[in-house]
């Protein structure tokens, strides 16, 4: 078996990329975005914003010379065509909030997967703010109508950064203050960017308050740190392949996103932040990962939001860790691009792992050797990448039913992996 060696950088964080595009659309002048995510989810947000009259020059996305994507702020217009959010829950939910706040009329749709994901989590509070909308029983397609919004106090029933961000973006165009009380902290990129751009926002132990914008935001320049959710697959590969060592460069180091790396340390992994520095409103850094033995870990509801997208790859690692890994409070995973609890458990069982599926999580007994099998990705990019990494330590080949779905977040995934395999 080869080893994982070398250094890697990653396309910009997907969550920050969506937010950078949307907030730039609310700015006075032209904003420059460097290292925008190359995933097709970001293309969905770009296309939707363009349909609302926003000028975006993304000819240079992922440009080797580092030329920025340029976004010229508003004015917005009612889109004449449907807004196709593709596979992207973040595009659908955040844009719904933002466009509602701008008083626009728009029709949203999405692909097969997105059309099965719950939208009432954003529609309910947006309706409380005054949005007039129609949906197919709480699912896409959804029409929103020109509405005037007012601020509300809201306690989301589930921990969701998408819901929080949708409401904050709506609140920018509402009358009066909006306050959101988070049950468990979720990724805070929207808040950090709004603060950096001078919006009237306050964050205090789970309570976030925002006043509407008086004018427009000032345009900005941003260099988006590498996506830690993409880096996680390479960290995992390096940990389980003996003799490996890799340096993951310029990886976003925001504590609301670093849960995976925190749990790796608890599992006894050799991981080291070589240095960290501030990049605008966020922290970023270089991470060194060295192969070594792992032990099991227990994770509950309060830690889930900080590693929600990394649970598929964490499950793969748990099959190689000594002891019983218990994941609880992860019911939100059933509502992602696919039912990820099912996808993780059914596929790991096929590979010969000892895994038990629960309503809100799973239990894995490790370590077990893995064998090859056909993998059902359900078109889910994170399952496809997690099982590709699992395949590196399987005794026979792993065959994905769909490998192109990695393009949703990381089109360069397979070539990057090839590039560090020695
Ligand atoms: C995201 C938030 C998370 C995450 C998703 C991106 C975001 O979803 O799973 O990949 O950019 O706000 P929830 O907030 O719905 O948990």
Q: Would residue 47 show up in a list of annotated catalytic residues for this protein?
A: no
Output the pLDDT for position 230.
Answer: 98
Task: Give the span between the Cα atoms of 65 and 255, in whole angstroms.
Answer: 30
Would the CB of 237 count as within 6 Å of ligand 1? no
Would the CB of 102 count as within 6 Å of ligand 1? no
Query: Could you tell which of 308, 332, 336 is best to mutate to test the pocket of ligand 1, judged by most ligand atoms within 8 Å of the CB?
Result: 308
Burial of residue 415 (number of CB atoms within 10 Å: 0-12, 13-18, 19+): exposed
Per-residue pLDDT tens for 224-272? 999 999 999 999 999 999 999 999 999 999 999 999 999 999 999 999 9
Would the CB of 15 count as within 6 Å of ligand 1? yes
Query: Strand 207-210 vs strand 201-204: parallel, antiparallel, or unpaired?
Result: antiparallel
Per-residue pLDDT tens for 155-205? 999 999 999 999 999 999 999 999 999 989 999 999 999 999 999 999 998
Backbone CA torsion sign across 295, 296, 298, 302: positive
With the CA atoms of 204, 206, 207 and 210 taken in that order, what torsion angle do they form, in degrees rounded to the nearest 10?
80
Rounded average pLDDT over 313-332: 98
b vs e for 297-321, b when ≥16 Cβ sit within 10 Å of the residue's Cβ? bebebebbbbbbbbbbbbbbbbbbb
- Atom number of ligand 1 nearest to Cα 19: 11
Residue 65 has pLDDT above 70, yes or no: no
The DSSP string of 328-349 is -S-GGGGGSSS-HHHHHHHHHH
With the CA atoms of 306, 311, 317 and 323 taken in that order, what torsion angle do they form, in degrees rounded to the nearest 10?
80
Rounded to a whole number of angstroms, the distance between the first and last alpha carbons of the chain is 9
Output the pLDDT for position 67.
Answer: 81
Contact status, residue 274 vs residue 288, Cβ threshold 8 Å: yes
160 CA distance to ligand 1 middle (Å): 6
Would the CB of 37 count as within 6 Å of ligand 1? no
Residue 58 has pLDDT above 90, yes or no: no
Rounded average pLDDT over 316-335: 98
- Atom number of ligand 1 nearest to Cα 332: 16
Question: What tokens appear for 231 in the block?
Answer: 């880096």
């Amino acid at each position: 078996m080869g080893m994982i060696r070398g250094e890697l950088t990653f396309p910009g964080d997907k969550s920050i990329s969506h937010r950078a595009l949307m907030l730039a659309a609310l700015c006075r002048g032209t904003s420059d975005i460097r290292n925008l995510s190359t995933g097709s989810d970001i293309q969905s947000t770009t296309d939707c914003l363009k349909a609302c009259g926003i000028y975006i020059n993304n000819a240079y996305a992922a440009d080797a010379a580092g030329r920025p994507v340029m976004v010229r702020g508003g004015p917005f217009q009612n889109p004449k065509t449907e807004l196709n959010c593709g596979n992207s829950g973040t595009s659908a939910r955040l844009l719904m909030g933002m466009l509602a706040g701008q008083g626009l009329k728009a029709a949203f749709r999405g692909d097969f997967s997105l059309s099965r994901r719950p939208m009432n989590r954003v529609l309910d509070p947006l309706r409380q703010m005054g949005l007039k909308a129609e949906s197919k029983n709480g699912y896409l397609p959804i029409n929103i109508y020109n509405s005037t919004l007012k601020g509300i106090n809201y306690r989301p029933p589930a921990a969701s950064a998408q819901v929080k961000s949708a409401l904050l973006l709506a609140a920018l165009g509402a009358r009066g203050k909006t306050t959101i009380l988070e049950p468990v902290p979720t990724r805070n990129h929207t808040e950090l960017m709004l603060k950096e751009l001078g919006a009237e926002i306050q964050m205090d132990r789970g309570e976030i308050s925002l006043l509407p914008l008086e004018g427009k935001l000032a345009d900005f320049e941003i260099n988006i740190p590498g996506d830690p959710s993409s880096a996680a697959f390479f960290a995992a590969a390096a940990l389980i392949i003996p003799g490996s060592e890799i340096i993951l460069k310029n990886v976003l180091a925001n504590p609301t996103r670093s849960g995976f790396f925190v749990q790796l340390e608890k599992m006894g992994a050799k991981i080291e932040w070589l240095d960290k520095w501030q990049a605008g409103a966020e922290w970023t850094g270089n991470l060194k990962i060295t192969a070594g033995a792992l032990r099991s870990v227990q994770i509950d509801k309060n830690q889930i939001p900080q590693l929600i997208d990394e649970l598929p790859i964490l499950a793969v690692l748990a099959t190689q860790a000594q002891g019983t890994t218990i994941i609880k409070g992860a019911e939100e995973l059933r509502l992602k691009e696919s039912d990820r609890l099912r996808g993780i458990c059914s596929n790991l069982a096929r590979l010969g792992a000892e895994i038990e599926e629960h309503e809100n999580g799973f239990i894995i007994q490790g370590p077990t050797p893995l064998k090859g099998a056909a993998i059902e990705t359900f078109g889910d990019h994170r399952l496809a990448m997690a099982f590709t990494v699992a395949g590196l330590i399987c005794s026979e080949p792993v065959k994905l039913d769909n490998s192109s779905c990695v393009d949703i977040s990381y089109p360069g995934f397979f070539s990057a992996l090839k590039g560090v395999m020695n």
